[in-house]
Structure 1
Amino acid sequence: MSSWSLWSFSWRMLCRDARGGELRLLAAALVVAVAALTAVGFFTDRVRQALERESHQLLGADLLLVADHPWPAALAEEARAGGLQVVETRTFPSMVSRSAGGGLQAQLAEIKAVGAGYPLRGSLRVASALNVPDQPADGIPQAGTIWIDERLAAALNARVGDLAAVGQASLRVAAVLTLEPDRGINFFSVAPRLLMNLDDMPATALLQVGSRVGYRLLLAGDPQRIKRFQRHLEPRLTRGERIEDPQNGRPEIRSALDRAQKFLGLSALLTVVMAAVAVALAARRYGQRHLDPCAVMRCLGATQATLLRLYLGQFAALGALAAAVGCALGYLAHFALHAWLAQLLATPLPPPGLLPVVQGVAVGMLLLFGFAVPPLLQLKKVPTLRVLRGELGSPRPGLLGGYLLGFLALAGLMFWVAGELTLGAYVVLGFSVALIVFALVARLAVRLAAAARGGRSAAASAGGIGWRYGLASLERRATASVVQIVALSLAFMALLLLTVTRGELFEAWQRAVPADAPNRFVVNIQAEQVTPVRRALAAQGLLPELAPMVRGRLTRVNGVEVNAASYSDDRAQRLIEREFNLSMRADLPAGNSLSAGRWFSAADLANKGDQAAASVEEGLARTLGLSVGDRLEFVVAGEAVEIWVVGLRKVDWDTMQVNFFVLTPPLVLEGYPASWITSFYLPPAKAGVVNGLVRDFPNLTVIDVAAILRQLQSVIEQVAQAVQFIFLFTLAAGFIVLYAALASAAQERRYELAVMRALGARREQLRRALLAEFAAIGALSGLIAALGASAVGQFLARQVFHFDVHLNLWLPLLGVFGGAALVTAAGWFAASRLLQTAAIEALRGGSA
């Protein structure tokens, strides 16, 4: 047979078999899997292109030098001498206020002070008022003026021309800022933005002891000169300094988007797992139904190679069609992700490329042939004698070993979607363990269910033979029953995690924060302001504790110098690069409890020299590898301060009280430059207290934690909606698994029902048997799924969200009854016509 004839015959077979349920299930499973992956793929490809296209604009320069302290003036001169453009910026949070109608309106803002020439790459855009068209900006704000973004303008009810207080300076609003090239992502910029001239900074008097300021040098120039300067500077970087370029720049953007994309990718991966189960079930059933046609073709002279090519061609055409439909649906679906998540980027997204299409087609073909090859290999080996003896060539238990190819393909797909080796290994291992555990539990449950049908007891006899026969069918088709239960358990677990368990996690998170937890933090309180601030708060009925903060940098542990290179953990590297907020007190703070060692003794409180004591938060100790007895050296105001760890503390961060990683007795840090911080709960009725405090002390920064949490919750909800949208594909795949699992044994049930009817069984008895079998399968699947969802929910709560979730005792009951009802309804819909088939027709058709 020529290649064209073979292909033509394969196409005609596909058109004929399209009327069969197996190919429809295969196609539906592939379409859902490809659509889920390509929807995520199209969106992430657009984000990748945007970041690559706008990489320099996202930095505002070709090279960005970032530090938590001022850069030496000589460095900027060195860059200019090398032919590079240099611009300095400073970024810090502070309160901005405006007098209006006899009152004062105040708002926490993120202030950026910029020098002439900013930005070096990209451009600023401003508008003359809110909700009017913007235009490219001409330079930067003039001295004595500021540009505020839309959120700050709305919060202060400010218009162009109004005066706003920034620290001790009164500056005029000159424009509404609509676009900053290096603003990047709104995910972490929870405070509105104010842009001012760097020359106005001294007049504000905002930079005091303890102020957190980001110092940046923006560089631009010839690429070769940029690379030469970067190579020259990298070995000279000190603690708290780093270089960002277009490849590693804006790490908060990339990490946040990478995290969101991983969530979306893993959601799509769950869809692929469900689709793989459905494809395996449908392909196995397809192979069983085509044993007889293959035997006939063998009798007519078809060789094994011809049969294999016929069916491979048919499946190739099916895979291509399903992948094309899936890619089209994925392209349409990705606009939903774009609507939710594109606003996290301050840059337009370009059209997607063809890479997601290639990936979608590859995934579809990988799934199809990974799980369809074992049945196809069996089809080509069917003996010609099967036309006379129907039992020949029937599926063998050893065929399950052939699905190892499909599992290896699926494992490779998991690594691909996960995007990294460690995460991929966890996913593959977790999926493998889940399959094994679910299969063992399902096999045990089937055995127990069969034993529970009873013998000759009165209760057993009273139920009739229907339900006993249904339970016996589980054990008689043990392998098929286990496959069905495992497949349905995976689908139901995804459903429960998406609905019930997810809701419980959010409720537990909300319960973890007390209703009267502090919702205002006041920072940057100077030493001479402690008493006046305390007096002003007391006049409003607020008696919060003011805690001192001393900035120090950890330089040595047990006499060994430490830096970022000393640690492999990312969080440890970030911690060691920053300055710590140290504090001092004599008593153990509320919300703190000792987890190791001891608290300060009377001797510790009287000692400020050698062997000075310190208490360290246990999470920090775990991250940096510290323990009781370790000797730490901090550099505070240029001086080395050596302390000894006498105890570790467990801190309840959910109380929202002021807490510190490192505490010392008061005498240890006495005399070093310090600022003070406090937190308190401010009822909505006393919101004006903040405005009065800022009016009297302009340098204070009041952080409205409630507003920040609301804004963060809003962004997280956007990501959650996007993830939930992808989970809709998972649910669709779960329903396909449900149908495929029930249809996989339909022919066997059809033959068995015909035999029972031939032996005199009544329709009502057979109906009860079917309902009992479906209910048992659904109940067992629901129970396993509920237990699995509970375990996963507890793991997420403890290891990811770090709070306790009460075990939902109703979840197993919901799984049992919900699973039984759903499977019974779906199974009865799929199998009701079996009872309508004449017994003689079913017997002639056999059990294949």
Structure 2
Amino acid sequence: MWVKLAFKLFSREFRRGELSIIFAAIALAVLTVFSLASVTERIGLNIEQKTADFIAADRRLSSNHEFEPIVQKTAEEFGLETAEMLFFDSMLFANDELVLGSVKAVSSAYPLKGQVELKDNLEGQSYPIRGAPEPGTLWLSEGLFYSMGLKVGDTVELGAGEFTVAKVLMSEPDAPLFSLAGNKRVLLNYVDIARTQAVQPGSRVFHRLLFAGSEQALTDYYAWLKPQLKPNQSWQGIKDRQSPLGENLARAERFLLLAGLFGIMLAAVAMAVSAKRYCERQYDPVAMMKTLGGSRATVRKIFLTHLTLVTLFSIVIGLVIGSMLQSVAADYLANFMDTTLPEAGLKPWLLAVFIGLVCALMFSLKPLLDLFDIPPLRVLRRNLGDSLALSKVHIGVSILTIFVLMWLFSGQIITTLVLFASTLLVIGVLFGISRLIFAAGRKLGLRPGSSWSLAIATLQKRANTNAVQLITFALAIKLMLFLVVLKNDMISDWQMQVPEDAPNMFLINIAEDEISPIKQYFDENQITHEAFFPVFNARVNAVNGEEFARRVSKQEGEEEDDNARQGVNREPNLTWLDEVPEGNEIVEGEWFSGSERLEVSVFDGWKERLDLKLGDEIEFLINEQKFTATVTSFRTVDWGTLKPNFVMILSPNFAGKIPVTYFSAAKLEAQHTKGISKLLQQYPTISMIDIKNRIQQAQSMISQVSLAIGFVLMIVLFSGALVLISQVQASLAERMQEVVILRTLGAKGSLIKLATLYEFLLLGAIAGVVAALVSDIALLVIQQQLFGVDGRLHPYIWVLGPLAGASFVAFIGYFMVAKTMRQNTQKLLRSLA
């Protein structure tokens, strides 16, 4: 019996629009979460894929000794693609020239991600391919062609083997950003290693395995591999790589995460408000049902059925609209960026459905319980049940639910807490302001016949309702201001780290007597360049006389000394400088004092790694010479600038103690290619490293994130408009009554219209002021904690917030009630009846 009644009432209320508010709210939550999660995931996957090109794989395993055969065999059993690599140095001989080259032997599957850039000859055009040199052939970098006087087709001796020079090697996806190997690089087929006879037991070689496959397969494989990893073996992805690309990828993900959280918050607020409004509008029908003999159990079953049906319908509709919306947005972004975005996984679908169900349950539970307790006597006394309108339990449950949903979506407690706390601050401030302003409405000396007087009197009359409206308006404005600052300021700050005039190539291995002619060449050709830095390799040998553990050879069966102090497994590039370089900041200690003792400034990331403190004495081993320097400062280093940086910088009094080479950076245009080639031919010891691909990759990330945030901003604007519409729609009946009374008392139509417009202008302006101030405070924290940059205020949003709030709320609010005000009094009375 009750089932038939439930479906009959559901059909009638759905046609009448009684369920439209809660239906739109759940659908809004679902489509917002789904579209945002899908677009941000697809862009994030695209960024990760492009960034993975720069390690030539999804993951890589590095070691200074040969891998056990089972490592690669098991990877293939997990469905992963693999490629082998071996690095070693060897002499090349041709045309009576002997040059030391950096050799990378690769299997035929290389690269698993990205492409190798080749030229058929020095004058030809470069083109991308995937693959390795044919057995018996080599691909050589341009520097080797110039220094050895080679051309394609010549024969070169590498170790004990003879090979044909087949191609000019322009770039490799996993080439080091800054390496003293420079452009003396050789690509060799893996099967030809034995032919060179350069790799013998005890040789200084470096092994690497590349892996590509699904994230699940990689995760499962690593779970198998991890217990078997040796201390000198490392498993890495792009996020593990201390490089500008790793830093930029992490920053891009934080931008997308922050943008997605805004959509979650606004959708949840819309649902909470709408569920409460819907249940309040059912108080009279429930009272009537109980008067006619309906039991509390029957009422509960009917409205739970309604909630279930509207939840299912709204989730389906939300997923359909969200799917179309994200498809259109993704296609637009893909066309704009001239790329193909990978498809999102199941996470957006599951997340959207879960949040839709949670919103429907948690935000509707307390209002429904209140609805079931409405007494039958409300038929006679309409004020019965109104005391339930502002339930502290419902508010508490709603706030807790929003926090949990945000935490679930982000997975980061600090980010969630910052945004959540700023939201609570907005709510608290606005509720206090609304009570003060609206309660003081009668004391403002208002005069009859004034539209402003009528507007403020109306605000005062609906103090509680307007307080809730103010909060929801302010949240929407706050999220919009957040996104505006993200897109206009923080993205711009990020982009400024890779300015258009940034250097796109390094020149290294420059002798001191070659600096002057190179400077002259740059000046004559109007090439922008950086200073010339001295550079050398050094081993960090000891701290305060305590030596670090010696690197041992697993190949020879040596075991590490577990009691020895652990250092670093590489010899970093060092320099000496007079001033703190750009992109570095002293965080502890002071720059060099100018004393006669040798001093050193250390990258802050190595402070804990080497267990250092100010005043420690670091011993460096350079060739066979030992030098001791005192730690005077620790520096932060912005690796995301795509400029070379140093983990340790010595004081200027180190100059002249050891022989060094120099390096510089320059911005080269296409017309400089031939000239720089002649320069390298004239000075064959100089090596050039091209980083244009790295800069393009960073700019591509920034463009994608900026577009994604623009898309999120549109979603938030749309969501904010729907929240505002639901708020105004819920008060339409009360506004119709006011219009009838005012007209009966002789008020003119223009007075009523202006009063309504002023009411929404005041609400929007007040909400905008508070949203702007609180947003700027929260942005200060986010800039410092989430993005690691100096926080600063944004005064322009203090003006933008009130103006945007007043305009946005007034336009939509007035548009919603304009139809009501155009109706004549007789029609309004019939509608109310």
Give the TM-score taking structure 1 as reference length.
0.72
Query: 2:270 and 2:728 mapped to 1: Cα distance?
Result: 11
Query: 2:157 and 2:710 mapped to 1: Cα distance?
Result: 44
Task: Verify the 8 A CA contact 2:438 2:463 in the aligned structure 1.
Answer: no
Partner of 1:690: 676
Cα distance 1:599–1:272, how it changes in 2: closer, same or farther (>3 A)? Answer: closer
Partner of 1:171: 165
SS state of the match for residue 780, structure 1?
A: helix
Cα distance 1:819–1:89, how it changes in 2: closer, same or farther (>3 A)? Answer: same
1:583 maps to 2:575:
yes
1:9 maps to 2:5:
yes
1:385-404 aligned at under 5 Å gives the runs 385-396=377-388, 398-404=390-396
Query: 1:227 and 1:831 mapped to 2: Cα distance?
Result: 61
Query: 1:245 and 1:620 mapped to 2: Cα distance?
Result: 21
1:272 maps to 2:249:
no
Query: 1:400 and 1:377 mapped to 2: Cα distance?
Result: 14
SS state of the match for residue 450, structure 2?
A: helix
After superposing the two structures, state which structure 1 stretch, 484-493 or 262-271, moved more.
262-271
Alpha-carbon shift at residue 717 of structure 1 (Å): 1.0
Q: 2:698 aligned to 703, 712, 727, which one?
A: 712
Task: Verify the 8 A CA contact 2:440 2:460 in the aligned structure 1.
Answer: no
1:739 maps to 2:759:
no
Query: 2:798 and 2:255 mapped to 1: Cα distance?
Result: 27
Partner of 2:423: 435
Identity of aligned residues (%): 25
Task: Verify the 8 A CA contact 1:316 1:365 in the aligned structure 2.
Answer: no
1:539-550 aligned at under 5 Å gives the runs 539-541=521-523, 545-550=531-536
Query: 1:440 and 1:232 mapped to 2: Cα distance?
Result: 52
1:239-388 aligned at under 5 Å gives the runs 241-243=233-235, 263-335=255-327, 352=345, 356-388=348-380
Cα distance 1:409–1:728, how it changes in 2: closer, same or farther (>3 A)? Answer: same
Task: Verify the 8 A CA contact 2:481 2:772 in the aligned structure 1.
Answer: yes
Alpha-carbon shift at residue 308 of structure 1 (Å): 1.5
Query: 1:690 and 1:321 mapped to 2: Cα distance?
Result: 66
Query: 2:531 and 2:645 mapped to 1: Cα distance?
Result: 11
Task: Verify the 8 A CA contact 1:147 1:194 in the aligned structure 2.
Answer: yes
Amino acid paired to 1:490: L
Query: 1:777 and 1:518 mapped to 2: Cα distance?
Result: 51
Task: Verify the 8 A CA contact 1:278 1:741 in the aligned structure 2.
Answer: no
Alpha-carbon shift at residue 805 of structure 1 (Å): 7.8
Task: Verify the 8 A CA contact 2:544 2:617 in the aligned structure 1.
Answer: yes
Please give the per-residue CA displacement for 1:496-545, whole angstroms capped at 9, x wherever unaligned.
3333652133444566778876554323x15xx33224423334438864
Task: Verify the 8 A CA contact 1:141 1:195 in the aligned structure 2.
Answer: no
Alpha-carbon shift at residue 386 of structure 1 (Å): 1.0
Please give the per-residue CA displacement for 1:18-56, whole angstroms capped at 9, x wherever unaligned.
245563232233223222333465678899999999xx9
Amino acid paired to 2:303: Y
Amino acid paired to 2:434: V
Query: 1:348 and 1:775 mapped to 2: Cα distance?
Result: 42
Task: Verify the 8 A CA contact 1:141 1:174 in the aligned structure 2.
Answer: no
Query: 2:341 and 2:792 mapped to 1: Cα distance?
Result: 44
Partner of 1:108: none
SS state of the match for residue 663, structure 1?
A: strand
SS state of the match for residue 237, structure 1?
A: coil
Partner of 2:776: 790
Cα distance 1:689–1:13, how it changes in 2: closer, same or farther (>3 A)? Answer: farther
Task: Verify the 8 A CA contact 1:554 1:579 in the aligned structure 2.
Answer: yes
Partner of 2:14: 18
Amino acid paired to 1:480: T
Task: Verify the 8 A CA contact 1:64 1:219 in the aligned structure 2.
Answer: yes
1:257-656 aligned at under 5 Å gives the runs 263-335=255-327, 352=345, 356-396=348-388, 398-418=390-410, 420=411, 423=412, 425-447=413-435, 449-450=437-438, 461=447, 464-499=449-484, 502-509=487-494, 520-523=505-508, 525=509, 529-541=511-523, 545-552=531-538, 554=540, 579-585=571-577, 587-588=578-579, 591=582, 597-601=589-593, 603-605=595-597, 612-617=598-603, 626-634=612-620, 636=622, 642-648=628-634
Please give the per-residue CA displacement for 1:797-848, whole angstroms capped at 9, x wherever unaligned.
555556668755443223222221221121112122443567688789989x
Query: 1:835 and 1:259 mapped to 2: Cα distance?
Result: 50
Query: 1:444 and 1:628 mapped to 2: Cα distance?
Result: 50
Alpha-carbon shift at residue 316 of structure 1 (Å): 0.9
Query: 1:477 and 1:38 mapped to 2: Cα distance?
Result: 36
User: Which residues of structure 1 form unaligned runs of 5+?
Assistant: 94-110, 153-160, 205-211, 564-573, 606-611
Query: 2:343 and 2:641 mapped to 1: Cα distance?
Result: 44
Alpha-carbon shift at residue 491 of structure 1 (Å): 1.2
Task: Verify the 8 A CA contact 1:183 1:346 in the aligned structure 2.
Answer: no
Alpha-carbon shift at residue 322 of structure 1 (Å): 1.2
Partner of 1:113: 104
Amino acid paired to 1:733: S
Please give the per-residue CA displacement for 1:185-209, whole angstroms capped at 9, x wherever unaligned.
x9xxxx9x996436999999xxxxx
Please give the per-residue CA displacement for 1:40-94, whole angstroms capped at 9, x wherever unaligned.
65678899999999xx999999995315xxx24xx4589899999997525799x
Query: 1:278 and 1:598 mapped to 2: Cα distance?
Result: 53
SS state of the match for residue 629, structure 1?
A: coil
Partner of 1:765: 751
Task: Verify the 8 A CA contact 1:492 1:782 in the aligned structure 2.
Answer: yes
Cα distance 1:754–1:590, how it changes in 2: closer, same or farther (>3 A)? Answer: same
Task: Verify the 8 A CA contact 1:439 1:482 in the aligned structure 2.
Answer: no
Please give the per-residue CA displacement for 1:651-698, whole angstroms capped at 9, x wherever unaligned.
799998865332224665866675432234668876655333333345
Task: Verify the 8 A CA contact 2:58 2:113 in the aligned structure 1.
Answer: no
Partner of 1:106: none
Query: 1:334 and 1:167 mapped to 2: Cα distance?
Result: 56
RMSD across aligned C-alpha pairs, in angstroms? 5.8
Cα distance 1:657–1:456, how it changes in 2: closer, same or farther (>3 A)? Answer: closer
Give the TM-score taking structure 2 as reference length.
0.73
Alpha-carbon shift at residue 733 of structure 1 (Å): 1.3
Cα distance 1:332–1:171, how it changes in 2: closer, same or farther (>3 A)? Answer: farther
Task: Verify the 8 A CA contact 1:90 1:215 in the aligned structure 2.
Answer: yes
Alpha-carbon shift at residue 323 of structure 1 (Å): 1.0
Alpha-carbon shift at residue 774 of structure 1 (Å): 0.9
User: Which residues of structure 2 form unaligned runs of 5+?
Assistant: 77-81, 90-101, 143-150, 178-182, 197-203, 213-217, 550-565
SS state of the match for residue 643, structure 1?
A: strand
Query: 1:363 and 1:738 mapped to 2: Cα distance?
Result: 21
Alpha-carbon shift at residue 372 of structure 1 (Å): 1.4
Query: 2:495 and 2:113 mapped to 1: Cα distance?
Result: 41
Query: 2:224 and 2:659 mapped to 1: Cα distance?
Result: 36
Task: Verify the 8 A CA contact 2:506 2:664 in the aligned structure 1.
Answer: yes
Partner of 1:778: 764
SS state of the match for residue 391, structure 2?
A: helix
Query: 2:277 and 2:71 mapped to 1: Cα distance?
Result: 73
Task: Verify the 8 A CA contact 2:540 2:567 in the aligned structure 1.
Answer: no
Amino acid paired to 1:34: V
Query: 1:50 and 1:507 mapped to 2: Cα distance?
Result: 21
Query: How many residues of Structure 1 are paired with residues of Structure 2 in the alignment?
Result: 758
Amino acid paired to 1:663: I
1:35-50 aligned at under 5 Å gives the runs 35-39=31-35
Please give the per-residue CA displacement for 1:190-240, whole angstroms capped at 9, x wherever unaligned.
x9x996436999999xxxxxxx997515699xx9xx999957863x423xx
SS state of the match for residue 604, structure 1?
A: coil
SS state of the match for residue 473, structure 1?
A: helix
Task: Verify the 8 A CA contact 1:779 1:819 in the aligned structure 2.
Answer: yes
Please give the per-residue CA displacement for 1:539-587, whole angstroms capped at 9, x wherever unaligned.
4438864322233455765677889xxxxxxxxxx996664322124x3
